[in-house]
Amino acid sequence: MVAFMPLSEERCEAIAGQLESCDDLAWQLGASLGGLGVPVLMYGGRAGRSLLATRRGTSFFASTRRAAPREAAAELPFDFGPEELPQRSGVSIVGAMPYVTNYNIQVEAATLADCRVAAAAVREEFGVQVMALPHEEGTHEIGCNLQAARGRDSPPTRLVLEAVRASLPRGAQVAKEYVVGLTPGEALGRFCGETAAPHPNAPWRYDCSLDS
């Protein structure tokens, strides 16, 4: 799976031009992969379907189940590449979407039900994808996909952490919280050769000065 994402946490309306540019890049890559004989399914604005809907049109989720068949399969017609799905290459899923920050919170001294209540509170307050699952050594983990949408910026991790702590019962503690990969600010900072700082009046935006 390949995702082209603007390095921003602003709502979709504010980054419409960047999303369109990412979509253009995605379709260029899809066409190139198809030219190499790899079947490609596209997602995003131009494709008219989400990453989740596209994955559901393949054997992606079924392959994660125990004793699942190992053969790749797809129910959707390919946007590029051959009509038949070669087992050697499988299918590539390519598209554009708002940036996703994978943010996990490990909780101890709480039940799975407690963590699911906290996850529901985050989902209701911020409108993001979140779930609670059993984790190592008797702890549980609340996994969040922090992503902007129409009319909504991607929430800062500190606000999500505050919402989780406020929803946990007395005695429960956050053992660890971390981002898998990079936040938009960290990714932009690597490009700039410095740490990109959140905008003082808009924490979902990042300022980065490039030397000429």
Q: Which CATH number do you get for residue 116?
A: 3.30.70.1710
* Confidence at residue 51, expressed as pLDDT on a 0 to 100 scale: 94
Tally of structural domains, the chain: 2
Whether residue 85 lies inside any domain: the answer is yes
Claim to verify: residue 62 and residue 74 sit in the same structural domain: yes
Q: Which residues, in sequence order, are CB contacts of 131 under 8 Å at separation 6+?
A: 119, 142, 143
Same domain, 129 and 113: yes
Does a structural domain hold residue 207?
no
- The pLDDT of residue 138: 87
pTM value surpassing 0.95:
no
Q: Based on the domain organization, do 25 and 57 belong to the same domain?
A: yes
- Residue 13 within any structural domain of the chain: yes
Among 96, 130, 158, which residue terminates a domain? 96
Radius of gyration of the chain (CA): 20
CATH of the domain at 15: 3.30.990.10
Residue where a domain stops, chosen among 77, 96, 115: 96
pLDDT given at position 137: 85
In a domain, 189, yes or no: no
pLDDT tens digits along 137-182: 889 999 999 999 999 999 999 999 999 999 999 999 999 999 999 9
Q: Which residues contact 160 (CB under 8 A, 6 or more apart)?
A: 103, 105, 122, 126, 128, 144, 146
Q: Which domain holds residue 37?
A: 2-96
Residues 20 and 90 reside in one and the same domain: yes
Average confidence (pLDDT) over 12-17: 96
Residue 33 lies in a domain: yes
